[in-house]
Chains A and B, each alone.
Chain A
Amino acid sequence: MIDYQRALLAAINDDGTSAVPNVDRKEFQRFLAVRKRKNRPLQTKPGWAKIITFLRRT
């Protein structure tokens, strides 16, 4: 279990570059996708995003 946890943490930290023993790489990508979806930052309102982009350009 310790080895599994260590491998899991390493794979999360390097976005799936490391392998988790006994875990299919493609299936592990699904886990990373779930993680990203669940921890997606709150979206800025589109209006504000345009204003910020405009201000940065100017």
Chain B
Amino acid sequence: MAEAAVGDAAVAADVRNGYGVLYRPEHRAALFANRSRIDAIELIADHWFDAKGRKAAELDLLAAEFPVTLHALKTSVGTVEGPDERYLRKIAAVAARVKPAWWSDHLCITRIGTTNLGAFAPLPRTREAVDVVVRNIRRIRERVPVPFAVENPTLAYDVGGAEYAPAEFLTAITEEADCGILLDLENLHADEENLGHEPTTFIAGLPLERVWEIHLAGGYRLGAEYVDAHQRAVPARTWDLYETFVRRGGRALTILEREAPLPPFENLLNELDRARLVAA
């Protein structure tokens, strides 16, 4: 397997050039029936903790059949007291089983002390926060010996007193921690709708060689809010951002995130074909 010389992570170049989906069991049969059109799948690590019996067998089958990346939800890379050791052990166990190309989680706080916040709380874009996250990612990489990438989450609010622009903040963290970026273009779209953040400036400010993975998804408007719901087809604005990323020379594993209610799998395949066309 070829490797890209990015940071200290040996990131599989052939996976980085692929197109795939976030795995949903409802689409299992369709996924295998269309194996030739799926280059890789993303698994939510949290869904496979302590998998036994049929679930473990399903996990083994998926990992044997597809190149895999893992995506996690509760690492809480921004928590001052550091990531939960038990959580990291569970991630490491899943990773040892499926041998992912890399794993990822969101640049946010999801836990304070023993309290699970139940949502992604934004970080202040300060030097202090960079130091906290870099320290945490170093510990994460000691505990889970797999390349790690951070994802830009949807921001519910901006914390004032920022010392970095949004892209500068993510760049400083990934350069200092020597990790990858999972760039969620629909999250950039949501931040544009909700907070007026300019997404093309964000993309232009990133070290694109560190972007290992792209998330594409579709949300909807609920009153004054744009909801990052993963329940709609990828909207035109997010396709524009994908084109911007590609035109600037970005190449990354493109993953479609879709949650229930799920459309026919053919719809997702058509969206993947569109992504391939944009990148051609």
- Shortest distance between the CB of A27 and any CB in chain B (Å): 3
List the B side residues contacting A5 at CB < 8 Å.
79-80, 109, 112
A15-46 vs B, CB cutoff 8 Å, 1 = contact: the mask equals 00000101110011011011101110000000
Within 8 Å by CB of A24, from B78, B120, B158, B225, lies B158
Tell me if B61 counts as interface (CB < 8 A to partner A). Answer: no
Residue of A nearest to B122 (CB): A31
Contact yes or no, A27 B124, CB < 8 A? no
Contacts of B227 in A (CB 8 A): 37
> B120-164 toward A: CB 8 Å interface, digit per residue (1/0)?
111010101100100000000000000000000000111111000
Q: How many inter-chain contacts with C-beta < 8 Å in the A-B complex?
A: 62
Residue of B nearest to A31 (CB): B156
B53 contacts A by Cβ under 8 Å? no
Chain A residues within 8 Å of B159, by CB: 4, 20, 22-23
Specify which chain B residues have a CB less than 8 angstroms from the CB of A1 in the assembled complex: 78, 80, 124, 126, 128-129, 132
* Cα-based distance from A37 to B115 in the complex (angstroms): 18
- Per-position contact with A for B97-133: 1 when CB-CB < 8 Å, else 0? 0000000000001001101011111101010110010
What is the total number of residues of chain B having a CB less than 8 Å from a CB of chain A? 28
Q: Do A22 and B225 have beta carbons less than 8 Å apart?
A: no
Interface size on A, residues (CB 8 A): 21
Complex Cα–Cα for A30 and B228 (A): 12
Asked if B17 is at the interface of the complex by the 8 Å CB criterion, the answer is: no
Contact (Cβ within 8 A) A24 B124: no
Minimum CB–CB distance for A48 against chain B, Å: 21
- Min distance, Cβ A38 to any Cβ of chain B, angstroms: 6
Closest-by-CB residue of A relative to B118 is: A39
Contact A27 B157 (CB under 8 A): yes
Chain B residues in the interface with A (C-beta under 8 A) = 78-80, 109, 112-113, 115, 117-122, 124, 126, 128-129, 132, 156-161, 194-195, 225, 227
A interface residues (Cβ-Cβ under 8 A, vs B):
1-2, 4-5, 8-9, 12, 20, 22-24, 27-28, 30-31, 33-35, 37-39
Closest 3 CB pairs of A and B: A27-B157, A22-B160, A31-B156
